[in-house]
Chains A and B, each alone.
Chain A
Amino acid sequence: MQLATDTQQKRKSMSSAQPDDPDHAAALLALVATEQSRKAFSELFSYFAPRLKAYATRQFGNEQTAMDLVQETMTNVWNKAHLFKPDRGSASTWIFTIARNIRFDFLRKNKYRQHDLSADELWPVLAEQNDSLDDDYALDDDLLMQQLAGYCELLPKAQRIVIELIYVEGKSQQEVADALGIPLGTVKSRTRLALQKLRELIHSDD
């Protein structure tokens, strides 16, 4: 009980506005995103962590798993605050969706409910490319090619041709096979190798 009183007092002394005020919570997230404000994060933590703990304890009935969920959720809030988009919903909704995804993956790894589908595939809450995927299920090939044109130059010629026919000219793999007079399997393997290579190039550039 002593602890509870301390926590309450600590929260009150930090700020007159509470994080349950949506604008205030959004402003705190913005401070975490732009200047890694420890004060703003501490305030978010002391509001959301106990509530997440209560949620997770109800869900799992297990103290340690509940604490793991709190820690993983709040770590994402600390690291990924820049991905919060105020025009898409409130800060508390965003934090709920992060916790929901983590809970989903915890349950998925539980041996009784094992399956492969990850939460990120279903709800890409923390994907950097969120906007293009959500708003329009066509990706912007032109923009994509601008970014990737430089990398494509680095591919072996045979792979680059296949990638250009598919991603620039929009041909199917079968059409590419027909056009080049090579087996479909070869087109597939060149595409796969090229995409793998592009991923490596992108990551090596960071």
Chain B
Amino acid sequence: MIKFHPNEEHLFHYVTGDLSPAMLMMVGTHVDMCPHCQAQVRDMEELVASKLFGQAQAPQEFVAANDDFNGDEMLQQIMSQAPTREPQAASALLADELVLEGKRFKLPATLTRSHHRIGEWQKLIGQMWRAPVQIGGEDVLTFIYMDKGTKVPEHTHKGSEATLVVNGVFNDENSEYRDGDFVFLDGTVKHTPETRDEDCLTLAALDAPMQFTSGLSRLLNPFSSLFFK
């Protein structure tokens, strides 16, 4: 049972396509895993569509500003093409698994479609690995894998951080997070994620490097951009 969801604003901007690429991937992956949010997304799409297309009258700005809109010409041009029916069987060959250290993880549909963007695994400190998802854009999207009994040093973020559990369970000071749980933290929140008896594969989006806040791990700060870039 998924307990933590993207907020309504994130879901709505996922529907309209107005989030960063990394956040669109995050929310899309959560939606793949969450029937509740799938229903929300359908409702929102329906709502936006009825706002755009629902009016009985054509919108005023169209009527006023489009004397040169030659609808008939465009219509004829479109219908002069024979409808194409190209099968896309090749898409069935997409790999839907992620393999790390002999472990295999099933990937939700959004990640499966972007499987080719997943880079090589790199070992971080301790029993943590990361693999970048190369989508371009300014913010960073990365898989983070924590073996059981692993603790991430306490940190805050200059920007915001979204984390989605793809498989497994992790804890922080506030709660326990399992498959499909989506956590969004802004720069003011300090937290210390850790795994206990189970390992955990997460997908994380960061819009700025992490800042470590406690003890010796502060020494990591000069390297934090290496850590997550």
Contact = CB atoms under 8 A, between A and B. Distances in A.
B44 to A, nearest CB: 10
Contacts of B137: 115-117
Category for how many chain A residues contact B:
35 or more
Interface residues of B, number: 65
- The listed residue with most A CB atoms (<10 A of its CB), out of B24, B53, B83, B106, is B53
Contact of A129 (B16, B50, B66, B92): B92
B59 A122 contact: no
A202 B113 contact: no
A23 interface: no
Interface in B74-115: 74-75, 77-79, 81, 83-94, 96-97, 99, 102, 104, 106-110, 112-114
B155 to A, nearest CB: 26
Given A96-B52, A117-B21, A133-B109, A71 B99 contact: no
Contacts of A115: 21, 135-137
B61 interface: yes
A153 interface: no
B160 interface: no
Interface string B121-138: 000000000000011110
Nearest to B56: A20
B75 A42 contact: yes
Interface string A115-151: 1110111111001110011100111000010011000
B198 interface: no
Contacts of A132: 92
Given A20-B56, A199-B90, A93 B71 contact: no
A75 to B, nearest CB: 5
A75 B78 contact: yes
Interface string A41-61: 110011111111111011000
A97 B49 CA distance: 8
A46 B71 contact: yes
A133 B31 CA distance: 13
Given A100-B17, A127-B91, A4 B53 contact: no
B96 A53 contact: no
B42 interface: yes
Contacts of B21: 115-117
B63 interface: yes
Nearest to A82: B85
A7 B71 contact: yes
B54 interface: yes
29 contacts: A20-B55, A36-B83, A45-B74, A49-B71, A50-B62, A54-B58, A54-B59, A70-B74, A78-B83, A92-B49, A95-B53, A96-B49, A100-B17, A116-B135, A117-B21, A117-B24, A117-B114, A119-B17, A121-B110, A122-B17, A123-B28, A133-B109, A137-B96, A137-B108, A144-B92, A172-B99, A172-B102, A202-B87, A206-B87
